[in-house]
Structure 1
Amino acid sequence: MSATRLTAPAAEFVGDLQQGSGEERAWRSRSIAPSDIAAVMRRSPWQTRDDLLHRKATNGSRPPMTRPQQPGLGWNKQPELAAGFAAQHPDEYEVVTTGYWRNTARPWQRCWPHRVLIPADHDPASGPAPIVATLTFRTTPKPLDDKGWGPDGSTEIPLADYDHHQWLLDAYGLDYGYVIAYSSHNDETRVYRIDRDDTHIAELRQAARALLDEVAAIRQSQDDGGL
């Protein structure tokens, strides 16, 4: 399904910006994505807050991450996990892909979700399909218990992933979404439905805005010749 046929309660579609392009890098440097927010909160296993601050203050250039994430299993497994979820919810959802979105009230809050969910009975002739939930995938070569994932069907997920999920819901203005965790260690899949947490979201927004204010201050100092 084309992303232009989707609509969201609190977000607008930006487009399929080419990753790594000047336009995409500039936009990333002035906004906060779900993949950024755990670093903002100093909870990311992949990069520090200082790494993120530097990257955004230098227009999206990327210093070496503390623990660089390698491509492979995570991206390759997504279509299979998405198909499995769709097969389990044929009367509820259709699983679709999309591109960049940003919150209409806070343009600095952006997202590019793994997948989004629309009603299974949506008639395309009636207009754009409403996004009702998100679908996020997490993969690991280690046992899920060792990585902090709770029992299948629970709401117990690692805090960094909780940050990611809540930021995604807030960007779209959604009430809930799903996270699928997969372990290649024993070929185990667990599914979690996580509702919107407004108290947690308020903390994320405050911390994200503070980081972007720091980025703006650094840029201003650079423009003034201070750095």
Structure 2
Amino acid sequence: MSDNRLYTPTGRYLGRWEHDTPEWHAARAQRIGGSRIAAILGLSPWASPHSTWCEMAGLVDAAPATPQQDRGHYLEPAIAAWFADQHPDWHVFTTGTWVHQDRGQHLANPDRLIRYNPIPNAVGWFDIAVSALLEIKTDADGTGWGEPGTDEIPLYYRTQVQWYMDVLGLQRAHIAVLSDRLTFAEYVVDYDPADAALLRQAADDFLDSLLWREMPDLDGHPATYETLRKLHPDIDDTHIDLDDDTAIEYLTALAETKTAEARVTAAKSRLAAAMGTARRARWRGQTIATRQAKNGGTPYLVAGRKLPDPTTLTGAVA
């Protein structure tokens, strides 16, 4: 069913364009959507406040889609079909790009919109009230997801759906995910007015920083470093004299990296010696590492998935 005949309490429909087309990017150019609000708060695995600021300021082009994002785009229809099959009495609509009716720079691009109740015969197609939104995800890692049916989802996705609900004036978001074990699961997140107020303030502060050309601080996110590489593509035959703080920070980080690499190598050596010819190393019922080989070559260690954070293990080996 078409999305331009729907309405939400506070949303204003802009249109629908093919993903990653010039029109798609133009609708988002100077607006804050779900992915950007997460990046602004430092919660995105793909973008940082600094990289997002430089992109919106027109200093660099938008980063190309990652393989993970491409995967989600291609699998989205199948996951949506699964969700619709689980709720045959609901109406699931394809949708496009929306903004808040009073805050035009606050944007939402939900994957689908949902109406719980039947559509009366007397109601025109331009009068269909939306009940909730649906976000569709794939996750090859599986970290951060709780029991299906709960609201326990990764913080990055929670931020995204809270933003969308605030823009559209909806009270509930459903999340359908294809997990790392190739199983479908469903989660439900309700609108939180306090969280939404914090998101709105962060978005408006960020938009003000663009207006006043106040670039965010540098940080350790990979996207920040990649953005700086894009900002300075040329190499001149010149030099600069560094201040003490910058030089010492860089030298210290290099030394710590070398120390950390040596520790990892030593730990892998001890583990390899302990494993011998075993395929798996397990600790307290969890696989910590496996030995693998390619085309009959020399075996090598591969770390297990979803490993525990060692900072949380204090007292575990008493």
Please, what TM-score do these two structures have when normalized by structure 2?
A: 0.62
8 Å CA contact 1:103–1:172 kept in 2: the answer is yes
SS in structure 2 at match of 1:148: coil
- Alpha-carbon separation, structure 1, partners of 2:190 and 2:82: 21
Alignment equivalent of 2:83, drawn from 82, 85, 90: 85
Which residue in 2 is equivalent to 1:117?
114
Matched residue SS, 1:218: coil
Change beyond 3 A, Cα 1:121–1:64: closer
Q: 1:20 offset after TM fit, Å?
A: 3.5
Q: Which residue of 2 aligns with 1:133?
A: 132
1:201-216 alignment, distance < 5 Å: 201-216=196-211
The aligned counterpart of 1:162 is 158
- Alignment check: 8 A CA contact 1:177 1:194 kept: yes
Determine whether 1:96 maps to 2:90: no
Deviation at 1:125, TM superposition (A): 4.8
Q: Spell out, residue by residue over 1:150-177, the C-alpha distance to the aligned partner (whole angstroms, 9 max, x if none).
A: 0111111111111001001011000001
Change (3 A) 1:34 1:121: same
Q: Which residue of 1 aligns with 2:38?
A: 38
Give 3-state SS (helix, strand or coil) of 1:192's partner. strand
Q: Secondary structure at the match of 1:3?
A: coil
Q: What are the Cα deviations for residues 194-222 of structure 1, in whole angstroms up to 9, with x where unaligned?
A: 10011111111111111111112229xxx
> Is the 8 Å Cα contact of residues 25 and 59 (structure 1) preserved in structure 2?
no
- Whether the 8 Å CA contact 1:96–1:116 is kept in 2: the answer is yes
Counterpart secondary structure, 2:213: helix
Higher relative contact order (CA 8 A, sep 6+): 1
Q: What is the CA deviation profile of residues 96-118 of structure 1, one whole-angstrom value per residue up to 9, with x for unaligned ones?
A: 11111110021111111111112
RMSD after superposition: 2.2
Aligned partner of 1:222 in structure 2 is none
Runs (5+) with no aligned partner, structure 1 = 220-227
> What's the TM-score once normalised by structure 1's chain length?
0.85
Indicate the SS of the match to 2:72.
helix
User: Which blocks of at least 5 consecutive residues in structure 2 are unaligned?
Assistant: 215-318
Which 4+ residue blocks in structure 1 deviate beyond 4 angstroms? none
